[in-house]
Homo-oligomer: A and B are copies of this chain.
Amino acid sequence: MKLTVYLSGEIHTDWRKEIEYVSRQKSLDIRYLSPVTDHDASDNVGVEILGEEEKDFWKDHKAAKINAMRIKKGIEVADIVIVKFGDKYRQWNAAFDVGYAVAKGKSVIVIHPADFTHALKEVDAQAMAVTHTTEQAIQILEYLTK
């Protein structure tokens, strides 16, 4: 079974590349989609294209809205949304993506360290699988597509 998978969450590590690399090695029939993962480009795209803002709120606002077009498309065409919570930043956008994906009827796999269990309980409760490692998520994809 061919799958389309959107990779949401953590952007300061290489977990997306790892998933895509192993998938190619195992010849899994999966198409991956992701947000823009160039942190600076993502933060500044609003003012760079649409013009400067004095207030940080509007600078962020314009960037977030442009990025939202790609994220929305990614989640909506996906069969499965994988969301990785890492140990840095507040990552509210990752939790937002899970809520959005669940409401759109997508199957969600969450990856997070064990010590986030209590804080992520409402998120995990909506997931079809909760893993501690990227490797486990890949194993699930391999199982589902074989």
Main SS at interface, chain A: helix
At the interface, yes or no: A36 with Cβ under 8 Å from chain B?
yes
Flag if A125 contacts B79 (CB, 8 Å): no
Count chain A residues whose beta carbon lies closer than 8 angstroms to a beta carbon of B.
68
On whether A129 and B96 interact (CB within 8 A), knowing A121-B61, A124-B60, the answer reads no
- Assembly stoichiometry (copies): 8
Contact with A50, one of B73, B74, B95, B130 (Cβ below 8 angstroms): B130
Q: Which residues of B contact A22 (CB under 8 A)?
A: none
Flag if B99 contacts A129 (CB, 8 Å): no
**Interfacial residues of chain A within 95-125, with CB under 8 A of chain B in the complex:** 95-104, 107, 116-125
Q: Which residues of B contact A68 (CB under 8 A)?
A: 107, 122, 125-126, 128
Q: How far is the CA of A107 from the CA of B71 in the complex (A)?
A: 11
Q: Which of A101, A118, A139 has the most CB of B within 10 A?
A: A118
Flag if B92 contacts A123 (CB, 8 Å): yes
Flag if A122 contacts B96 (CB, 8 Å): yes
Flag if B66 contacts A117 (CB, 8 Å): no
Q: Chain A 23-53 against B: per-residue CB contact (8 Å), 1 yes, 0 no? A: 0000000000100100001000100011000
List residues of chain A with CB under 8 Å of any chain B CB. Answer: 1, 3, 33, 36, 41, 45, 49-50, 54, 56-58, 60-74, 79-80, 85, 89-104, 107, 116-126, 128-131, 136, 139-140, 143-144, 146
